[in-house]
Structure 1
Amino acid sequence: MIFKTLTLTNFRVFNGQHSIELAPRRDGLLAKPVILFGGLNGAGKTSILSAIRLVLLGRKAIGNAVSKKDFHHYLEQQINNKAIKELQATVASVKLEFTHTHQGKHSTYQVERSWSASTEETLKLFKNDEFEASLNTEQVQSFLHELIPPGIGDLFFFDGEKIAELAEDDTGSYLKEAVQKLLGIDVVNRLADDLDIYIKQISQKTADSKTVKAISALEQEKNENLLKANQEREKEAQLKIKLSDIEIQVREAEQKIQDRGGAWAKTKTDEKDRANELIKRKAVLEAKLLGELDGAFPLALAPNAMAALIESLGKEQEAKDALAYHNKLNENLNGLETVIKSKYFEQSDDLLATITTYFQSVATPVSPNIVLDVSNTEFNNIQNYVKDAEVAKNHCDELTDELTSTEQSLESLSVNIQRAPDEAELSKLYENLRSLDGKKNTLTTRYREHLINAKTFTVKALELARKLEKLYTNQKTDASITKAVERVDATTNVLAEFATQLTDKRVSQLEDLFAQAYRKLARKDDLKLSAKIDSTTFDVTLVDSDGIAINRKSMSAGEKQIFAFAILEALGKLSGKVLPVVVDTPLGRLDSKHRDKLVQHYFPEAGEQVILLSTDTEVDEDFFTALAPEISHAFEIEFDQKTKCSTLSEGYFWTPSEAVKYTEAS
């Protein structure tokens, strides 16, 4: 089977008609299997998967026990809101054209499911462009279920949540259910249940009126409880999907806050206070620096000139002192001469000559070159100014260093403050996150309530079933139905033996297929891994070459998801069906290492047609380049915030139309 064209009309986020080419295009003789859809979360990727499941599986696309009323309500919700506003009687439809080969005969089919809010759904089938008018909606659905049994559809059309659920399922419940549907053992189980109902019916016929009335009341009460339990489980399943969506939105909101500088915003107030302190300190330092500049500091700018000035002034001062001394000496020599002549008359001439000669030798009069002629006080003041200038210079250097450090700290704080988003913007982001958290808590509470209710109704139904079984057992002893009971018991035993032998045989095949798939995806061929599957519990155990079991709980999240993909691939091959594989957001929880394994070894080989729905962070440029040789063509889904609707264009985020052609030339 190959999907050729998917046409969506007023379906979910797609307003109007959108026809999407899905058939793999050829590169020479070979067809490239991968058709890639890119879209941000909420753009409409899941709508593509939902449309394919809905058009093929019908009511079974959303659950195994969905009433006709609930299904019609579900269909109402799938009608595009914009289309409903424009026209109340809007008709929505999903049409899929595909090819299918049966007994060597190749045919083209078109199946179209349409509905409106006020009308029941219609399902039409065209074979080789001829309308199959003889088939009603139920008959067309039966034909589609023959092509793709609902249990098989889950193996080929799935999303990342299904992978996560299977990866974390260490009870084997999912695998057990899948294998039973795959092998038709669920039909065997239903047949055994029908035989039991048959015995109960004939037992009821032979019972007295009081027993019949009791049986009827218990059956009705049991069925009501089972119905309520199924309804609670369906609501629980729907809420689980919504919870997953909310959790994704919460992670996106948290990432958006982080991207917009949420980490910086946490310290923004403290950093603003620190910045204010630094601004004040800067002002103080600048004032002190200006004070120093207004004082003696300028003299320190010319140290050589100041030294020369002090030296010149010192020499002038010495010359002036010598001249004053000489003048004072001359003034006193005359008086000395008079004293000597009066006391030492006879020797006065010799003494005066000796004194005069001596003083002439120690106080030779000079002719000083006095230019500046400053006083002693002024000279002392100038010397003090020069000393003060040196101190001021050292102080200015210290103030300048501190001012520079303060300005650098202030600049760093300013950058951090600028990184933080605007408070109003950040407030909206946090408000959105709080709103999402509130919705998540509400959904979690409702989910738990439905979980508890389902358990309560199931327990009540089991208690009633035990009471009924006791009544029926009493009736089975009646001789009139003994033979029927024997035949039913014999048939039930045969069915049980058939189911056991069939399960054992297919489980053995599944072990080999799973081990091959896991080795391929995990790239651990050298370990020669094998697998053991318990045919009763369906617990899967990986065994290494030494026969030692590998504990699944010790696996990383990425390894568990590789494990899940391997199970799906093995089940798909065991089914014998050749169907397209449709996977929605499969890589969100994987690291780059495990994504690389899937990109290289799963998607290119999963089938003849692989429809991959991804975000730009899952299949990014690196993975796109790695996958490009296998990509037939790609589509980008763009969501318009104004219209709340999406459109498709050929290409993939950063690539233009016909995006993958560049790889052929590279």
Structure 2
Amino acid sequence: MLLHEITLENFGAYKGANSLTLSPKSGRPIILIGGLNGCGKTTLLDAIQLALYGSRARCSGRGARSYESFLRDSVNRQAEPKEASVTLRFSVTIEGAERQYEVERSWKINGKTVPESLRVFIDGKHDKAVSTNWANYIEDLLPLEVASLFFFDGEKIESLADPERAAPVIESAVQSLLGVSTVEQLRTDLLALQRRQKVTQEYKDARDEIDRIESQLVQNEVARADAYQRIASINSGLHQERKELATVEAMFAKQGGELFRRRAELESLRSQASKRLESLNETLASVASGPLPLLLLSDQIRALKEQVTREEEAARAERVLDALKVRDDELLALLSSDASPAQMSRILEYLEKDRDMRASSTDVARVLNMSASGIQQINSLDHVLEAESVRARTLLTEAGELRDELQSLDRQLAGVPAEEAIADLVAQQDKARQRVVSLERELATAQEAHATHDREREQLTAARDRAYAKYAKGLAETEHRERVVTYSDRARTTLEKFGELLLQRHINRLEVAVLESFKRLMRKEGLVQDLRIDTEKFTLTLIGADEDEINPARLSAGERQLLAVSLLWGLARVAGNRLPSVIDTPLGRLDSRHRQNLVQRYFPYASEQVLLLSTDKEIDDQLLQELIPAIARTYTLVHDDHTFTTKIENGYGWGKTQYVA
């Protein structure tokens, strides 16, 4: 895993967005970040852990507070709105392929609550599923227990300086980081498998289930038979009642009962028909008072139309003759100068003959001399009379049908029997119908009960079949379970031996790695000749040159701190994980020689990526010069005592040496 960039927005003392590029360079693994006490160095370490682990992060400033209180207090006081975020970009090589991750964790103060949001991007794409299950996902990439061995500050180094207090760290590291816990987990899983085999008695339960179902089937069969008998009894009574009802209804119909029931309806229909007939008669009278009587004078009207046509044509011919006379005179005047006398004579003869022929059509006696509107009315009279004739025939047909309907209704009403003559039959019919309806309801209830028992029998039969199948399977699996228990015992014994050997092997490797690291960091190279770790208590024992144990009290505070660093370094070397080391204020209690040893022999080789958080008193000018060949990037955290905010500047150094990587 390599960290590439972290962005803090309104987190702690960091107001607004503040980003640090953390990528190392070839042969230069160190990212040096300097700052005075209280500038926010530890806040950076907390931000990395918070982005990865959320509420499970072991942040130094949280203490006993709840996670929500910690988030609320982490929002910069001057931030508006009251919200903050931490974004971490890193890469992990999985099965030979490098994948880029970006984890964005944000939260805001919303009254009494502080809702948190988490978004995870993989290779630049937002992955909702991974975002939802990030707590489990990050455990596969970098377990929290493992991360605690690579993200540490001076306080953790101080706590590990005591060999007795280092025992839990050694045990946790060996179990989780070196894979010993996996063997023990396998033994635990096998034990759980054995217990499940021992307590499983499905075939016995199946036998009890079969007996119970058989008893229920017997009860069901009795209930089904009772329901069937009930249906047969009701059907018999219902058949008799329906027969009696049919007899009463036949007698009722014979006595005119249907007409009696429909009397009010028939009277209403007759009243409606009578009113419609009266309205039709009024409409017919209105039609008869209009132009309709003119149909009796069809011949006279036809002769009148012919006379009007002749007079109209004669008048039109007279108007044409007058126009032709004017035209002929104008034509003769035009031709008189050009035509010869013979030609003029022939033209004149033709024109007179044409006028005489036209004048013969005007010889008509003028009797009517009808106006234009009168002519229009006489011409449209046929259409009017035709429409009125059709309307009259329609009305007459409808009136005839209504009279027939009235006669039919009168006949039906005449056949309606008196109420006192049929009252007894009405009562008999009502009682018979009620008995039929009651029996039909009883029959439906009995049929539903029978159907319910049928469905219950089908379900019980299916359950019995499943129980028999389970019983047979249980009998067949009994021997298999016994074999599982036997083989699990053997496997657990083997895993126990394997775990002991694996633990011993890792402990031996860890002893060598820690001892080698300690000797590289110590200036008293002959002080410690050997180092041993107990495989049960995980306590660390130092052996001096005389083969005697060295009491930790003989070591100075600085030497014990170097021992803690050696322990962490040795664990990282044995694990072989390509994980970044984040080290906060590691040189607080060391003298100059020990500091120089750490700078020369540990920091450049602790990991492929080392985030070193230092004060001005730890990495001074001299040590900075020692570190420069291994430094990839440098930053300084500058705190403003008036605004209580921190900003990030490139470069490192407070004394004579100001170095910008």
For normalisation by structure 1, the TM-score amounts to 0.51
* Residue 579 of structure 1 pairs with residue 573 of structure 2: no
Partner of residue 120, structure 2: 125
CA-CA distance at 1:157 after TM superposition: 0.7
Residue by residue over 1:104-124, the C-alpha shift from the partner in whole angstroms, topping out at 9 and shown as x without a partner, is: 222322222222234543332
Q: Deviations over 1:233-292 (max 9, x none)?
A: xxxxxxxxxxxxxxxxxxxxxxxxxxxxxxxxxxxxxxxxxxxxxxxxxxxxxxxxxxxx
Q: Distance in 2 between matches of 1:599 and 1:105?
A: 33
Residue of structure 2 in register with 1:106 after alignment: 98
Give me the whole-angstrom Cα distance separating, in 2, the residues matched to 1:557 and 1:536. 27
1:9 to 2:9 alignment: yes
Match of 2:645 in 1: 645
2:57 to 46, 57, 61: 61
Question: Alpha carbons of 1:69 and 1:493: their partners in 2 closer, same or farther (altered >3 Å)?
Answer: farther
List aligned pairs for 1:293-372, cutoff 5 A: none
Match of 1:140 in 2: 134
Contact 1:650 1:657 (C-alpha < 8 Å) held by counterparts: no
Spell out the pairing of 1:214-229 with structure 2 (5 A cutoff): none
Cα distance in 2, alignment partners of residues 112 and 168 from structure 1: 38
Larger Rg: 2
Among 37, 42, 45, which residue is 1:46 paired with? 42
Cα displacement string for residues 456-490 of structure 1 (whole angstroms, at most 9, x for unaligned residues): xxxxxxxxxxxxxxxxxxxxxxxxx9999988877
Residues 53-107 of structure 1: CA deviation (Å, up to 9, x unaligned): 12123333228xx999933333333222221xxxx75332111112222222223
Q: CA deviation at 1:36?
A: 1.2
Q: Distance in 1 between matches of 2:65 and 2:631?
A: 41
How well do the aligned residues superpose, as a CA RMSD in angstroms?
Answer: 3.6
Note if contact 1:168-1:560 (Cα within 8 Å) is conserved in structure 2: yes
Q: Return the offset for 1:16.
A: 1.1
Name the CA distance, whole Å, in 1 between partners of 2:192 and 2:97.
42
Q: Does 1:93 align with 2:85?
A: yes
Shift of 1:11: 1.1
Q: Distance in 2 between matches of 1:69 and 1:50?
A: 15
* Shift in alpha-carbon separation, 1:637–1:656, aligned structure 2, 3 A: farther
Q: Deviations over 1:521-569 (max 9, x none)?
A: 1155567833221111112223345533333221111110111111000
In structure 1, the gaps of 5 or more residues are 207-480, 662-666
The 1:577/1:74 distance shift into structure 2, 3 A limit, reads same
Output the CA distance in 2 between the equivalents of 1:142 and 1:121. 18
Deviations, residues 303-326 of structure 1 (Å, cap 9, x unaligned): xxxxxxxxxxxxxxxxxxxxxxxx
- CA deviation digits over 1:373-402, x for unaligned, max 9? xxxxxxxxxxxxxxxxxxxxxxxxxxxxxx
Letter in 2 for 1:22: L
Match of 2:551 in 1: 551
- Distance 1:146-1:196 versus aligned 2 partners, 3 A rule: same
**Do 2:24 and 2:31's aligned partners in 1 also have CA atoms closer than 8 Å?**
yes
Deviations 1:575-601 (A, max 9, x none): 221111111111112122211111111
Aligned length: 377
Partners of 1:657 and 1:122 lie apart in 2 by 43
Whether 1:522 aligns to 2:522 is: yes
Q: Quick one: which amino acid aligns to residue 88 of structure 2?
A: L
CA deviation vs aligned residue, 1:586-621 (integer Å, no higher than 9, x gap): 111212221111111111111121111111111122
CA distance 1:48–1:656, change in 2 (3 Å): farther
Shift in CA distance, 553/205, structure 1 to aligned 2, threshold 3 Å: farther
Counterpart for residue 78 of structure 1: 74
Give the Cα–Cα distance (whole angstroms) in 1 for the partners of residues 163 and 541 of structure 2: 13
Letter in 2 for 1:126: F
Deviation, 1:198, is: 8.6
3-state SS, counterpart of residue 608 of structure 2: coil
Match of 1:375 in 2: none
Task: Give the conservation status (yes or no) of the 8 Å contact 1:628–1:660.
Answer: no
Q: Distance in 1 between matches of 2:554 and 2:538?
A: 19
Number of the residue aligned with 2:560: 560
1:507 aligns with 2:507: yes
Aligned ranges 1:111-510 → 2 under 5 Å: 111-117=103-109, 118-137=113-132, 139-170=133-164, 172-186=167-181, 496-510=496-510
Q: Distance in 1 between matches of 2:143 and 2:108?
A: 26
The aligned counterpart of 1:419 is none
Per the alignment, in what secondary structure is the counterpart of residue 616 of structure 2?
A: coil
- 2:164 is paired with a residue whose SS is coil
Amino acid in the other structure paired with 2:149? L
Q: 1:48 to 1:189 in 2, by over 3 A?
A: same
Identify the residue that residue 225 of structure 2 maps to in structure 1.
none
Q: Is this contact kept in 1: 2:13–2:40, CA < 8 A?
A: yes
Contact kept in structure 1, 2:29 and 2:610, CA below 8 Å: yes
Q: What is the alpha-carbon distance in structure 1 between the residues aligned to residue 632 and residue 97 of structure 2?
A: 26
In the TM superposition, 1:586-665 aligns within 5 A as 586-654=586-654, 659-660=659-660
Would the alpha carbon gap of residues 575 and 500 (structure 1) be closer, same or farther in structure 2, given more than 3 Å must change?
A: same
Structure 2: state its 5+ residue gaps.
202-480
Helix, strand or coil at the partner of 2:44: helix
Do 2:514 and 2:570's aligned partners in 1 also have CA atoms closer than 8 Å? yes
CA distance in 1, matches of 2:66, 2:482: 42
Q: Which amino acid aligns with 1:641?
A: D
Q: Distance in 2 between matches of 1:69 and 1:547?
A: 48
| Change in 2 beyond 3 A, CA 1:515/1:43 | same
Aligned to 2:287: none
Seen in structure 2, the aligned counterparts of structure 1 residues 501 and 127 have a Cα distance that, compared at 3 Å, is same
The letter for the 1-side match of 2:603 is: F
- For residues 160-195 of structure 1, the C-alpha deviation after alignment (integer angstroms, 9 at most, x for no partner) is 010000002425232122222223444555676778
- The secondary structure found in structure 2 opposite 1:541 is strand
Deviation at 1:38, TM superposition (A): 1.2
Helix, strand or coil: the match of 2:148?
helix
Aligned CA distance change for structure 1 residues 588 and 527 (closer, same or farther; 3 Å): closer
8 A contact 2:130–2:137 mirrored in 1: no
**Percent of matched pairs sharing the same residue:** 37
Matches of 2:527 and 2:163 in 1, distance apart? 24
SS for the counterpart of 1:155 is: coil
Q: 1:109 to 1:655 in 2, by over 3 A?
A: farther
CA contact (8 A) 2:653 2:659 kept: no
Q: Secondary structure, in 3 states, of the residue corresponding to 1:632?
A: strand
Partner residue, 1:381: none
Partner of 2:451: none
